[in-house]
């Protein structure tokens, strides 16, 4: 019993130490004042091939955790990707666009985004006593931690001037994966589209956690530009109005199709060279 008490005390003390405090930095960090690096000028004549793809990034994968964590703002002000974007939308600093059918390309509001994330009033039956119940209206709250996927819309192209296959992200669409409070069913729905160029400035000013070196942290903009994430092909530009892979192939077959498209993209660059 005595050993258990000592162990519990040490556990509490260790947890308090591990949580840590923000006592400031020993040197001035440059990321809060950083700016995005503009793309080099690209002439139409230099693009000899291009194709657009949709790529799904699952934030639950270990390699993608720097985009998902921390789910709450830390003492030193570090935030995850979705909280950065939501704050910018709420402040009216960036424009986001609806993903609803028939409203693609139409600007949407922060209130509509909140509604899609479950911040809508719903009723609950409350037991007052053994024989009496009442119905209360509960205002829903958003849960950014339930945004667990990002859909990237990107264009791959071959630049003959630089003789390389390159890519630029055009837009980002977060996917909400919460639970319907009334139907108690899992949800999987897109929230909005945001142009990647519109958020690069704010992403460049927010750092990403590095597990190996606190002195070599990069910004979210660096993470995307350096392709430090993992994703799979979700769709490609096609004659069928850019339909997604899962719209014409189910389950496991969709994964094989995504892998086929990825290999096809790799072979395009590989086949341009002679060895």
User: Does 138 have pLDDT greater than 60?
Assistant: yes
Alpha carbon 182 to its chain centroid, in Å, reads: 26
- pLDDT value for 46: 95
Instruction: Give the pLDDT of residue 270.
Output: 83
Looking at residue 155, what is its pLDDT?
97
Q: What is the pLDDT of residues 208-243, one digit of tens each?
A: 988 888 888 899 999 999 999 999 999 999 998 888
Domain extents in the chain: 46-119+147-270
What's residue 92's pLDDT? 95
Is the pLDDT higher at 216 or at 207?
207
Cα(88)–Cα(202) distance, integer angstroms? 8
* 57-61, 115-119, 144-148, 270-274: the lowest-pLDDT one: 270-274
At 95, list the tokens: 């424009």
49-50-53 Cα angle (round to 5): 155
Q: CA 68: distance to chain centroid?
A: 7
pLDDT tens for 144-184 read: 999 999 999 999 999 999 989 999 999 999 999 988 767 77
Q: Is the pLDDT of residue 121 over 90?
A: no
Mean pLDDT of the chain: 86
Predicted local confidence at residue 14, as pLDDT: 46
Asked if pLDDT for residue 128 goes beyond 90, the answer is: no
Distance CA 63, CA 44 (A): 35
């Amino acid at each position: 019993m005595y050993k258990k008490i000592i162990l519990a005390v040490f556990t509490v003390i260790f947890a308090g130490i591990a949580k840590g405090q923000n006592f400031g930095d020993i040197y001035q960090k440059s990321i809060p004042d950083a700016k995005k690096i503009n793309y080099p000028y690209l002439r139409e004549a230099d693009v000899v091939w291009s194709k657009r793809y949709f790529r799904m990034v699952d934030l639950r994968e270990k390699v993608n955790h720097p985009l998902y964590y921390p789910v709450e703002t830390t003492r030193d002000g570090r935030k995850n990707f979705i909280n950065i974007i939501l704050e910018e939308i709420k402040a009216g600093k960036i424009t986001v666009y609806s993903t609803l059918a028939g409203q693609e390309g139409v600007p949407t509001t922060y209130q509509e985004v909140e509604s899609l994330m479950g911040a809508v009033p719903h009723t609950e039956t409350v037991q007052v006593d053994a024989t009496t119940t009442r119905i209360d209206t509960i205002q829903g709250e958003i849960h950014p931690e339930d945004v667990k996927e990002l859909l990237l819309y990107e264009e791959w192209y071959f630049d003959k001037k630089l003789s390389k296959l390159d890519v630029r992200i055009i837009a980002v669409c977060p996917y909400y994966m919460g639970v319907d409070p009334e139907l108690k069913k899992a949800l999987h729905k897109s929230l909005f589209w945001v142009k990647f160029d519109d958020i690069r400035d704010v992403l460049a000013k927010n750092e990403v956690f590095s597990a190996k070196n606190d002195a070599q942290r990069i910004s979210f903009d660096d993470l995307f530009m350096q392709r430090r994430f993992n994703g799979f092909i979700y769709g490609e530009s096609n004659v069928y109005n850019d339909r997604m892979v899962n719209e014409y192939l189910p389950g496991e077959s969709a994964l094989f199709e995504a892998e086929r498209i990825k290999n096809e993209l790799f072979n395009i660059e590989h086949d341009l060279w002679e060895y």
